[in-house]
Amino acid sequence: NAGVTQTPKFRILKIGQSMTLQCTQDMNHNYMYWYRQDPGMGLKLIYYSVGAGITDKGEVPNGYNVSRSTTEDFPLRLELAAPSQTSVYFCASSGMGSGQPQHFGDGTRLSIL
């Protein structure tokens, strides 16, 4: 079972470049999330989606954009990469309802130089 798949696993960007982090899930989950994890810190929510066509900001959305055109995919876009966006990015998904556990991908390690 694939679960939540993130690509790429690693990426180095130059300041000002743009890129899209891909996330896809095969569990037919309505809810999907993007988090970032900085060294020694907990995960912080960037954006989330409760279904196709619906997205909303989390705790740290500045510098990022998302879209949700299908149930399976939830890409995260960085338009103008900045050194402060160097981090590990995790995508997660969960079923509907308040008691559902979140399932995580293996992460994308991104460095902005």
Residues of the shown chain interacting with another protein in the complex, contacts defined by CB under 8 A: 4, 31, 33, 35, 40-45, 48, 50, 56, 58, 90, 92, 94, 97-107, 109
Q: Given the complex with another protein, which of 14 and 42 has the nearer CB atom?
A: 42
For residues 40 and 87, what is the distance between their CA atoms, to the nearest angstrom? 11
Cβ at position 48, least distance to another protein in Å: 6
Q: Nearest approach, Cβ of 2 to another protein (angstroms)?
A: 13
Residue 35 or 64: which CB sits closer to another protein? 35
When the beta carbons of 19 and 104 are compared against another protein, the nearer one is 104
Min dist CB 98 to another protein, Å, is 4
The residue written with tokens 């160097």 in the block is 86
Residues in a beta bridge with 93: 32, 103
Q: What does the alpha-carbon distance between residue 5 and residue 25 come to, in Å, rounded to a whole number? A: 6
Q: Compute, in degrees rounded to 10, the torsion defined by CA atoms 12, 14, 18, 24.
A: 10
Q: How far is the CB of 113 from another protein (least distance, A)?
A: 20
4's enclosing H/E stretch is strand 4-7
